[in-house]
Structure 1
């Protein structure tokens, strides 16, 4: 196989990989749902009156009630911090709106990014409460109507507590406290249950994320972003559970700790229950499959008469910041999904972040890391171009073989193998080095696609956002020109006329592909090509100096 074919192989492999990724998202096999573990069964036997996951209450309110608290029994509480702008409905104490005050919708817009919202066409809310025999959220009278001292709170220090209180005439008091922190997107939710009823009270914590299924679509073939749910257990570090999965079969997992989440491009919402307790993870689909829900129920608790107890969980609503997510919960940072080459992507991103901290510009950091990667891979590049140079030097002898054997392919193949052996040339020598570089390219592709740090990160002049395509297609065109120059530096030795035409048009086809790629990735590929051009000229000059003709 002539080494020049490796360019076509790389392009074909890359496009095939993207097509496979998109097919997996749309039509791939669904995970098998395991039966509920014995731990959940044992809990049910202790308190057989505790509602199971399928009985966790829905909001039971209209969209208008959710947004503005127009119900006669409920209202909304507005909470503002330097990272979050949140609306809490006192009916159940759900977070029905959350804007990220440190993230704009668009680069040139002052409108803040809305992660949670209660709009009818794009519902996405975070619900939580207490179920069980005596849980207020499992009451036949509907979810509890909490009371609050104020309808507006603003964080002025390092921490802000927003208490909501519900009590019965019989002596049961529940205080649901939301705790917000300065410059953070996490919200701690704490329940203090005080039992003055004279009888034991049985309760169980739950929390869930509810979202409309038909919403903003995932990216296309070249931007295969994921929108859907995911979870983690003590046996499964990270698993996606798509809306189609939820529609087909409800998730039922029992785990120590764990978490549940809803994902979209760059952002995530996640409920994180206590890691020391046994929690039951579940999903639900509405009757008409309009909404999908993922959540958890905690361990059943008994509060004896005259006693009180506390329950807690954490809600994260913000960007997919790997460091923050890693510190918040085990494996939550895996929601930054780098695909099968995550083991390459993660150290590359760490290096990129380190470089950016020094140079102060993500585009410059990309150029620097490209120089580092190409420098580290120089031995492979040299082996590739030495092999390609030797192959071109053999062209007169190969032409003589073709003239001698004509259309006898068997004798031609045997003659070529003898020639390769005699001249000590490996015909695959130019292909393998390029194939070894493919995982690094794909790893960087997902770094640029998934890392929120590149969102709205500028470079210079017209490149104001490295996470989206070049608005004027300058970088893709320059990349295509660099590929054309590389092609001229390495003229094809392919004999088949059809393959020759495909090879000649390869720079054009790759340019078209790269029109939709993130500008950061195109910048990497362009700089990589320019470095390769320089390295190839140096390598060929050395070979010419040693008497090996390379042209």
Structure 2
């Protein structure tokens, strides 16, 4: 196969892959959820006109719709997180990431949870016979000592307690924020001063509007939706369409539930020692999707107390931190089916960046490393091209000799390849072997929050977004054009020659919307390839000159 055809095939692969990826995100088939192993009833809801959703306790029927009540909002601030908690139910109704800006240079912290414009909140509570969140009169309104809490300088953690007492049972809900961390410990202490045993069950859920616009395109497809993990399935997406079509019902040891968006993740992680139930629910009346968990029922004897807890995470997709919080949570950094290539490339990129302290320079360095390691393939590719170019006159003679007799033409070409020791696939195969690395790097640049708003220099202020002046795509196209000039066309097909001439234009247009970090990689890769081509062709010419002199 000729190299030009190989390049056309590779381009088609890239376009097909991205089109398929976007189609899969928009039209993914619905996965039928596995039924819960327990014989408990399906989580049902108590819904008011506002669309509130409270799961039913295990083995119990749904409670009566609750009366609407209102609480206040308190603010809890650490060095990296600002949370707003509604005292009604103790739900987190807003979360801002102080170390991340909404837009580069705006100075506005990145909002993740919000009720402004659309709904995205993190809810948790206690259901069951004595669970205050299952009360038909309304969810509990907790009391607090202050309206705002901040991490004090010199302190490593901040603990905020909310309390509520009903029927001689006191419920203390506490949030613990640790300096520099995005995970929050959400604990419940139940103090039973009544004369009967108290039965409660912890739940946590994420509720989000499904009509949120995500900055996604064919060139930069991103996912916004739910995901979960079980003991059998470490990571599984469950998008809004899945939730609308079928309620998830999973029973698992440990596990977690999450809502994902580009670069960021919000998750509830229950105890890893209990058998938890994972569920979803779609609220038709206001277009909201819910994904949550329930821990097992717990009984607190009269005159005693007990505690139950879970972890809430809202922050960047930091693989190191996520892996420590729960098994499989780091997989929310989704590299797709090429993860086995993307992972080592990511760690190599991090290692290099720690040395050069510039993400653009790190991309250039990793390009040099990759191209150096792949030099044997490149040499094979261009050596094969040189040999194919050399036998073009003989192939043209065969075509004139055999005309339209394809069978004889094929046999004659095979004999020619064998005699000249030419592998017709030698120019195409190395290109195909390089494509997985390109696609793996594409997902590294797409999924790595470390590259968000990362500056390179001059006009490139954000390697995760497109070049604002399209200079890099143009340079990349020019480098492709130069490669074509250095590589004389071997095909005699006029149509194929025209397509190859338009290939740099096509790729330039194609790369206009790619992240500038990826375009930088491709441009530097082309520059290195041009240097390698000159070295390889010069070496071939010298070898031929020596062979001629030896014959003389």
1:326 to 315, 323, 334: 323
Using the alignment, how far apart are the partners of 1:59 and 1:79 within structure 2?
29
Q: Is residue 129 from structure 1 mapped to residue 120 from structure 2 by the alignment?
A: no
1:177 to partner: Cα distance: 0.4
Q: Is the partner of 1:526 in helix, strand or coil? A: helix
Match of 1:366 among 359, 363, 367: 363
In structure 2, the gaps of 5 or more residues are 53-67, 547-552
Count matched residues: 529
Shift of 1:58: 7.6
**Pick aligned residue for 2:80 from 71, 78, 83:** 83
The alpha carbon displacement at 1:408 in A equals 2.6
TM-score between the two structures when normalised by the length of structure 2: 0.94
Residues 262-277 of structure 1 correspond to what in structure 2 (within 5 A)?
Answer: 262-277=259-274
| Partner residue of 1:159 out of 157, 160, 163 | 157
Against the structure 1 CA distance between its residues 58 and 502, is the aligned structure 2 distance closer, same or farther, given a 3 Å change threshold? farther
Q: How does 1:78-227 map to 2 (within 5 A)?
A: 78-119=75-116, 121-156=117-152, 157-168=155-166, 170-227=167-224
Q: Could you tell which deviates more after superposition, 540-549 or 478-487?
A: 540-549
For residue 433 of structure 1, the aligned residue among 430, 433, 442 is 430
2:6 is aligned to 6
Q: Secondary structure of the equivalent of 1:29?
A: coil
Q: Distance in 2 between matches of 1:337 and 1:364?
A: 24
> Counterpart of 1:53?
43
Distance apart, 1:524 and its partner CA:
0.3
Normalised by the length of structure 1, the TM-score is 0.94
Once the two structures are TM-superposed, the CA of residue 265 in structure 1 deviates from its matched residue by 0.3
Deviations 1:332-351 (A, max 9, x none): 01001111101111110000
Mapped partners of 2:105, 2:418: distance in 1: 62
Alpha-carbon distance, 1:248 to partner: 0.1
Matches within 5 A, 1:243-262: 243-262=240-259
Partner secondary structure for residue 3 of structure 2? coil
Stretches of 4+ aligned residues off by more than 4 angstroms: 56-62
Displacement of 1:73? 4.7
Which whole-Å CA distance do the structure 1 matches of 2:137 and 2:314 have between them? 30
Distance in 2 between the 1:323 and 1:183 partners? Answer: 14
Give runs of aligned pairs for residues 207-356 of structure 1, distance below 5 A: 207-288=204-285, 290-356=287-353
State the Cα deviation string for residues 170-224 of structure 1 (Å, max 9, x = none).
3111000011111111111000001111111111000000000001235110111
Once the two structures are TM-superposed, the CA of residue 487 in structure 1 deviates from its matched residue by 1.1
Offset of 1:61 from its aligned partner? 8.3
Deviates more, 1:52-61 or 1:217-226: 52-61
Give the distance between the partners of 1:136 and 1:435, measured in 2 at CA.
61
Q: Distance in 2 between matches of 1:56 and 1:490?
A: 70
Describe the superposition over 1:289-342 as per-residue Cα deviations: whole angstroms up to 9, x where unpaired: 610000000011011111110000010000111111111110101001111101
Q: CA deviation at 1:59?
A: 10
Matched, 1:33 2:33: yes
Asked if 2 retains the 8 angstrom alpha-carbon contact of 1:467 and 1:518, the reply is yes
Q: 2:405 aligns with which of 405, 408, 415?
A: 408
Q: Give the whole-Å Cα distance in 1 for the aligned partners of 2:439 and 2:532.
A: 22
User: Matched residues in 1 for 2:138 and 2:69: separation?
Assistant: 14
